[in-house]
Structure 1
Amino acid sequence: MKFESQRLKCRYFTELDYQLFCSIFSNEQVMKYAWIDKIENEVGMREFFEGFLNHDDRINRNNSYAYAVFLREEDIFIGFADIVIHSLNSNGGCGEIGYFLLPQYWGKGYATELAHSLINFGFTRLGLHKISARCNSNNLKSENIMKKVGMTKEGELRKVRYKNGVWDDEKHYGILIDEWKE
């Protein structure tokens, strides 16, 4: 399953995309507010990468649909995106979007465009009834994106993210299909 937006195109990662994947998850700036540390070890990176490979249109080992994100016109890799499926049944389901862009593509509206596209994809193609997202409470830019795409703050978990010797809070946002349709 592929999808496109005005400036972006997203497709499943393939085995040939390993170095592209590494460029995201080994980048100190990209991983600053992520729930995991940057991955420096080759064995750990390879295992992590393989968990995000989708085959055909089936969900991957991480219970998600993971995408390599490219600029549509130039075909330049700019990041990673996924939708984790938390539940799914004949009446809908719940999923969580996530994305990481390389620093040179920050501040250009790509993350907001990507979040809009992921939400649209989740509601129209996956049949979800709720989509959520979360971020480190110190990551105000990520929080602003969630607000821009129409998500509502649903709560904040205290001291649940541990990184660099510090516990940080985590903000949770969500949008229901009925809200999105309005």
Structure 2
Amino acid sequence: MQEIETERLVMRPYDLSDAPRAQKLGDDKDVAETTFIPYPYTLEKVEDWIQNHLSLIENGDAYPLAVILKSERQLIGTMTIRGDKTHNKGELAYWIGKDYWGKGYATEASKKIIEFGFHDLKLNRIWAPVMSKNKASGKVMKKVGLNYEGTLKQDILKWDKYEDVDIYGLLKENYR
């Protein structure tokens, strides 16, 4: 798979050498609280996750990509699109390290991965689950053109509390 580039970012498949940095960024309670990342996020969990990536990408099942900030040549998060070949749709998922919040990186990377999903993967629909309390990700979804479709009440159990999940989506025919 070729790298996907934006003005400030490069998205590429993970390498095992990325594991320590991904673990450091992802093992932050503030990051984990409003995402689907496990916490604590141990190096072993990260390495196991990365080791599955090559087969996921080769099979076209998912594209978990390292988000690299060009100016620092540093991993800052993850952007993923998971394919559903039966229904020709993809699930958008991401996380960005806390030090990089509020700088537009999630929006920039999401726009490009959506373009990849519709143009390269030929998906008909891209959707994203966002924990309802994650207002920043809800804003990102709207900025990149996904529409709020509804809320799944108490859909996930996170840290012994049921959390609502908002669903956002975009059809290829409505993609600009």
TM-score with structure 1 setting the length: 0.87
Measured in 2, the distance between the counterparts of 1:9 and 1:101 equals 14
Question: Which structure 2 residue ranges, 5 or more long, are not aligned?
Answer: none
Identity of aligned residues (%): 30
Partner residue of 2:99? 104
Please name the residue that 1:9 is paired with. Answer: 10
> Are 2:133 and 1:149 equivalent residues in the alignment?
no
Matched, 1:170 2:169: no
Please report how far the alpha carbon of residue 6 of structure 1 lies from its aligned counterpart in structure 2 after TM superposition.
Answer: 1.2
Q: Which residue of 2 aligns with 1:73?
A: 71
Cα drift, residue 40 of structure 1: 4.3
Q: Secondary structure at the match of 2:18?
A: helix
Q: Is the 8 A contact 2:19 2:46 kept in 1?
A: no
SS of the residue 1:30 aligns to: helix
Tell me how far apart the structure 1 counterparts of residues 162 and 21 of structure 2 sit (CA, whole Å): 30
Compared with structure 1, are the counterparts of its residues 77 and 35 closer, same or farther at alpha carbon in structure 2 (3 Å cutoff)?
closer
Distance 1:73 1:36, change over 3 A: closer
Post-superposition shift, 1:151?
0.8
Residue pair 1:28, 1:38 contacting (<8 A) in 2 also: yes
| Equivalent position amino acid for 2:112 in 1 | S
Cα distance between partner residues in 1 of 2:56 and 2:92: 20
Change (3 A) 1:41 1:69: closer
Assess if the C-alpha contact under 8 Å between 1:59 and 1:65 holds in 2: no
Structure 1 residue 39, shift from structure 2 partner: 3.4
Gaps of 5+ in 1: none
* Paired amino acid for 1:87: K
The residue aligned with 1:29 is 30
Q: Label 1:64 to 1:56 Cα distance change in 2 as closer, same or farther (>3 A).
A: closer
Quick one: distance in 2 between partners of 1:43 and 1:74?
26
* TM-score (normalizing by structure 2): 0.90
The answer (yes or no) to whether the contact 2:56–2:63 under 8 Å persists in 1 is no
Residue 55 of structure 1 deviates from its aligned partner by 5.5
Residues 24 and 80 of structure 1 are in contact (CA less than 8 Å); yes or no, is this contact kept in structure 2? Answer: no
**3-state SS in 2 of match to 1:11:** strand
Kindly state the Cα deviation for residue 36 of structure 1 after the two structures are TM-superposed: 4.1
| Equivalenced residues, count | 175
* Distance in 2, Cα, partners of 1:42 & 1:7: 27
Paired with 1:160 and 1:153, the residues of 2 have a C-alpha distance of 16
2:131 aligns with 136
The answer (yes or no) to whether the contact 1:69–1:81 under 8 Å persists in 2 is: yes
Alignment of 1:46-65 (within 5 A): 46-51=47-52, 53-54=53-54, 58-59=58-59, 63-65=61-63
CA-to-aligned-CA distance 1:113-136 (integer Å, 9 cap, x gap): 111111011111111111111111
* Residue identity matched to 1:139: N
Q: Verify: 1:158 aligned to 2:153, yes or no.
A: yes
Comparing both structures, which one devotes a greater share of its residues to helix? 2
